[in-house]
Structure 1
Amino acid sequence: MLHELNIPRILISGTGSGTGKTTLVVGLTKAFQARGIKVSAFKCGPDYLDPTYHSHTTGKSCQNLDGWLMGKESVLSSFIEASRDSDLTIIEGVMGLFDGHSPHSDIGSTAEIAKWLQAPVIALIDASGMARTFAAISSGLLNYDPEVPIQGFIANFVGSEGHTSVLKSAMEPFPLLGGIPKFPEQSFPERHLGLHSATAKILSNESLSFWKNICESYLDLDEILSIARKAPILSFQKEEGRVTKQSVCRIGVAKDNAFHFYYEENLRRLQESGAELVYFSPINDKFLPEVDGLYLGGGYPELHAPALSQNTNLLKDIRDLAGSGAPIYAECGGLMYLSEEIQDLQGVSHPMLGLIPGKTIMGPKLKALGYVEVHTEKGTILGEAGTRFRGHQFRYSDLVLEEEREELYSYKIRKRKSDLSTPEGYTNGNILGSYVHAHWASNPSIPENFVNACMRSKN
């Protein structure tokens, strides 16, 4: 059945990473909230860090929107579901406007999401050292794909108000919605996976107020809001079968400074499949809550390895749960926690759960980055042999085994730029760990299978 919904919306994109998209979305969110406008925020692409900023700023979960991982129907469904009670939605793009899964198409790009959601695009461009060239770049973005609805531009890192005036003159008739100066002392800190995860310290009231005031002072907020409200009515085919079942099991979800990389869609689909999600902290909680299975997401366990290793009561509880046959599913940082130990960048080793053989060794250089496709070679808690799904990798560590054991692997993964498959998916009974951050919209049967595995163990 065809439905229609009027959702005021804008999509903030740029010419690449590092142009300040996340900061701009945070500032715009606070500026519009100060006007009494209820804002929802979204993040294009597979990123797990930027959404923590938008969740913190809006006070509600920030959903990822990724065309390659999710497909059009799930992107629309996630967007509409999370936008219902909002007056305005702000979507942050990924990388540059046209960057995505392929150099030859808009698959997995911000442009693809803009087309699917008919979202007016405001392009943020680093204006450092530029005048008329800014207009040339803007013209290139406008004309590269006329189906992408670019409605305005913002200049970032301008040198002065005079610089902004020069840019406006050079841009005519293209709409320049303002110019933001550089404020390096107010920049959000970065580490090897991009920005630090948002915390109350990073996103302090003072920081949020600062970026709100910057947007109010340097941007045409009235015109930006007008652009958002002129977005066309969104027509969509309602996704069937998304009805939350009565809870039939309890799944523990690790959530603290060490583990917090989760796709919100995965958590929502677990709940719809009948799971009650019970959050706990592997750093701080001394005892595991009563659960029928565990979901250990990604994060920064290497930064909290001493605290994780010294929380011996919780380690024992998790080992006992594993010994009972309860399903445990872990991704990236969660896999590191399952391993025998984590060796940090200083060469110091910290004992971990030891439920998956092997030692996790951190390195100074990137080990894997990008989209992957997964094909299971044998049955796991996520489904029978032959189960397929899509995901993303971004890691600086390796799991090193004393000896290769073929029976440990349950996956074959294929990277986007390669036809070669490599073994992955470490298994030990009902334990499954992988470096792949899976997005379950690519295979909705997976959360159902995981819940069913927890039910079988419970019974």
Structure 2
Amino acid sequence: MNAVSTCPAILVAAPASGQGKTTVAAALARLHTRAGRRVRAFKSGPDFLDPFWLELATGHPAHNLDLWMTGEADAQTRLFEAAQTADLIIVEGVMGLFDGEPSAADLARRFGLHVLAVIDASAMAGTFGALAFGLQHYRPGLPWAGVLANRVATERHAEMLQCALAEDGSATSWLGAVMRDASFALPERHLGLTAAFELPDGMARLDAAADALATTPLGQMDMAAWARWAASFEAPQIDAAVPPLLAGKTVAVARDAAFSFIYAANLETLERLGAKPVFFSPLANERLPGCDAVWLPGGYPELHAQTLSGSTKTRDGLRAHVVAGRPVWAECGGMMVLFDELMDVQGQAHPMWGLLPGRVSLQTRLAALGPQKLSLEAGELRGHTFHYSRCETPLAAAMHTESTRAAGKGEAVYRRGSIQASYFHAWMASSPAATAALFASGVH
């Protein structure tokens, strides 16, 4: 019989994006962390930005959980391990509760995570009750914790919202109201929230949000009350050992405000393969460290185009690396800087590093979004795509990823010399062997 770990665990969900899930999840984590409790937080779906806030709140890496991209076994392993040491597990949902295939609701049902619904109630009263009722009962068997009203105007407004719940007989699911307050609003931009590390007052914002949450019934619950939302996680089957296919290899990873879309699990995968990740900052124009391979992850190069245009030491070191035939894997923003030119949304052209021919142009509309997979001889890498730019290049695609959506399009994978580049963001743990191929001998 498998071992079981038990811990109070909730999934913070909402009827749609932009309702305040991240603020509430991070504030709740911060509130309990300040009280000396051991909190582990996770993010449902492929998001890079929300985990920065959850990590700031808890002091621990916030891994992603996704029944397709990361896989059920990976999610089970991480939840089981977290429950062995944590007092509380908080999982932030993705988009709306029932959006996507699989959805956050599917994750909650699979692992018995009680759902805390966060609803932006700023422009509603009685409809709040109907929305909360629908979220709770739309899918049978969904574990339910309750509902929290967010961005509430006044105490009288909060009373109206609570009364709306009483009309449908679910008053016991009321977990309080958080008032609208700019002091703990988390700023957004085109790919999502601003990363926590970019705001000097990030922790102050979380503390202000935690203080607000502390006045609600949810924030005032003691751990005995939390016990009713306990979930049990079975020990996973022992995975086969990852062969050290990159033993003795050094992988240089770009990491700064322009290149920050890095799953913690990807670094773990490189280490399990035997590689040593070392970091450098193109924004600081740092020279490429001695290495066998380079990973240029995604991020926001478009916000730093002028600075990156002048990163000649980084550019020249990377060019010498490529001339020597050493591998480069570039994802999304990491690919964008390799082209000749980047055109920002104002129409201003910035010369980039000229390692790939062509131009990347930013636009105001989303160009691609959704789960993708890349099939290589060594295995299948799962991941996703999410970008606002388009590239124009004479290069023919060496291959394409495959979208999991019926009408979705795959992303081109470009190859030039030892460079492999795509808008595709890989979840490297989905295939360590395929990951090794990217950094050892290129895409096959």
Q: TM-score, normalised by structure 2?
A: 0.91
Match in the other structure for 2:380: 388
Which consecutive unaligned segments of at least 5 residues does structure 2 have?
none
Q: Root-mean-square deviation (CA), in Å?
A: 2.4
Match in the other structure for 1:198: 196
1:417 is displaced (CA, Å) by 3.1
For the structure 1 residues 9 and 423, does the alpha-carbon distance in structure 2 shift closer, same or farther, using more than 3 Å as the test?
closer
Question: What pairs up with 1:437-456 in 2 under 5 angstroms?
Answer: 437-453=425-441
Contact 1:78 1:265 (8 Å CA) reproduced: no
Select 1:213's aligned residue among 211, 214, 218.
Answer: 211
Q: After superposition, give the CA deviation of every residue in 1:391-427 in whole Å (9 maximum; x if it has no partner).
A: 21111111111x3x43x422243351327x6561001
Match in the other structure for 1:141: 135
Match in the other structure for 1:410: 399
1:278 is displaced (CA, Å) by 0.7
SS at match of 2:322: helix
Question: What pairs up with 1:353-392 in 2 under 5 angstroms?
Answer: 353-376=353-376, 383=377, 387-392=379-384
Instruction: Kindly provide the amino acid, as one letter, of the partner of residue 221 in structure 1.
Output: G
Q: Percent identity?
A: 36
The number of residue pairs the alignment matches comes to 436
For the structure 1 residues 355 and 219, does the alpha-carbon distance in structure 2 shift closer, same or farther, using more than 3 Å as the test?
farther
Match in the other structure for 1:304: 304
Instruction: Kindly provide the amino acid, as one letter, of the partner of residue 159 in structure 1.
Output: A
Contact 2:411 2:422 (8 Å CA) reproduced: no
Match in the other structure for 1:130: 124
1:294 is displaced (CA, Å) by 0.9
Which consecutive unaligned segments of at least 5 residues does structure 1 have?
102-106, 377-382, 455-459
Instruction: Kindly provide the amino acid, as one letter, of the partner of residue 136 in structure 2.
Output: L
1:436 is displaced (CA, Å) by 0.9
Question: What pairs up with 1:46-195 in 2 under 5 angstroms?
Answer: 46-81=46-81, 84-101=84-101, 107=102, 109-172=103-166, 173=170, 174-184=172-182, 186-195=184-193
Instruction: Kindly provide the amino acid, as one letter, of the partner of residue 409 in structure 1.
Output: A
Match in the other structure for 1:17: 17
Match in the other structure for 2:240: 241
1:302 is displaced (CA, Å) by 1.1
Q: After superposition, give the CA deviation of every residue in 1:93-135 in whole Å (9 maximum; x if it has no partner).
A: 011111112xxxxx2x111111222111111112234333322
Deviates more, 1:81-90 or 1:424-433: 81-90
Instruction: Kindly provide the amino acid, as one letter, of the partner of residue 185 in structure 2.
Output: S
Q: TM-score, normalised by structure 1?
A: 0.88
1:84 is displaced (CA, Å) by 4.5
Residue 316 in structure 1 maps to residue 340 in structure 2: no
For the structure 1 residues 50 and 423, does the alpha-carbon distance in structure 2 shift closer, same or farther, using more than 3 Å as the test?
closer
For the structure 1 residues 422 and 23, does the alpha-carbon distance in structure 2 shift closer, same or farther, using more than 3 Å as the test?
closer
Distance 1:365 1:389 in 2: 27
1:219 is displaced (CA, Å) by 3.9
1:55 is displaced (CA, Å) by 1.8
Contact 1:275 1:451 (8 Å CA) reproduced: no
1:166 is displaced (CA, Å) by 3.1
Moved over 6 A (4+): none
Distance 1:33 1:293 in 2: 38
1:242 is displaced (CA, Å) by 5.0
For the structure 1 residues 203 and 24, does the alpha-carbon distance in structure 2 shift closer, same or farther, using more than 3 Å as the test?
farther
For the structure 1 residues 430 and 219, does the alpha-carbon distance in structure 2 shift closer, same or farther, using more than 3 Å as the test?
farther
Distance 1:217 1:425 in 2: 51
Contact 1:300 1:333 (8 Å CA) reproduced: yes
